Amino acid sequence: MKNIEPSNIKFCRFLRSKNPYGSLEGGENEWYLIDDANSICWCIKATGGAGPDNGLVDPPLCVSGRACYEPPVS
């Protein structure tokens, strides 16, 4: 089993994910993206699985360039 490092992608500050092993990713927590088939994602601004632009909330989509994207607070 290889070790993993937190993702260095600056995902939207309003993106959250709960992985199947109980850990939250996003916000104050680092992004490990440990399991993309079994994690739940939501936008806290739009309060669900669809973003403020009606598009899918998914880490690879919630990045700079999307209309509703906001960078994380550093």
Partner 1 sequence: MDTKKVKFPHGIPGHNLSEVEREIPTGEPPAWPINDDLKVVGKRVKRTDALAKVTGAAKYTSDIQLQGMLFGRMLRSNYPHAKIKSIDTSAAEKYDGVYAVHVFKNAVGMAQAKDGGNSAGFPDVKFAGQPIAGVAAISVDVAEEALKLIKVDYEYLPFVVDLEEAQKPEAPVVFKTDVDQEDRGGGGGGQSGLKTKGNLRGPSTSSFFGGPRGDVEKGFETADFIVEHVYRTQVHTHCSLETHGVVVDWRPDNVTIYASTQNTNSVRHEFAEMFDLPKSKVRVITEFMGGGFGAKHSLGNFGVMAGHLSKKSGRPVSMMLDRKEEHISSGNRPNSVQYLKIGAKKDGTLTAIKQKSHGTAGVGLGAGVGRIAQVMYECPNFSTEQYDVFTHAGPGAAWRAPGNVQGAFGLEQAMDELAEKLNMDPLALRDVIDKSDVRKVERQRGAKQFDWSRRKKPGSDSGTVKKGLGMAQSTWPRFVNLNSTVEIRAYKDGAIEVRSGVQDIGTGTKTILAQVVAEELGMKPEDITIRIGDTLFPTGPGSGGSIVTGSITPPARNAAYKLKLELFDQVAKELETVSSKLSMSGGFIVSQEDNSKKIAVKDALKKMRTEQITTSASRSDDYGGFKMGSFLAHGDLGSVQFAEVSVDTETGFVKVDKIVAAHSCGRPLNITQLEGQINGGVIQGVSYALYEYRVMDNETGHQMNGNLDQYKLPFAMEIPEIETIIVEDYGGRSSTDAYGIGEPANIATAVAVANAVYNAIGVRIYELPITPDKVLKALNKI
Interface positions with partner 1 (CB under 8 A): 1-9, 13-14, 16, 18-24, 27-28, 31-42, 44-61, 67-68
Side-chain-side CA neighbours of residue 24 (13 Å): 8
Beta carbon of residue 74, minimum distance to partner 1 (angstroms, whole number): 14
- Cβ distance to partner 1 smaller for residue 24 or 71: 24
Closest distance of CB 71 from partner 1, Å: 13
Rounded least distance, CB 15 to partner 1, Å: 11
CB 17 within 8 Å of CB 59: yes
Contacts of 34 (CB under 8 A, 6+ apart): 4, 19, 21, 23, 25
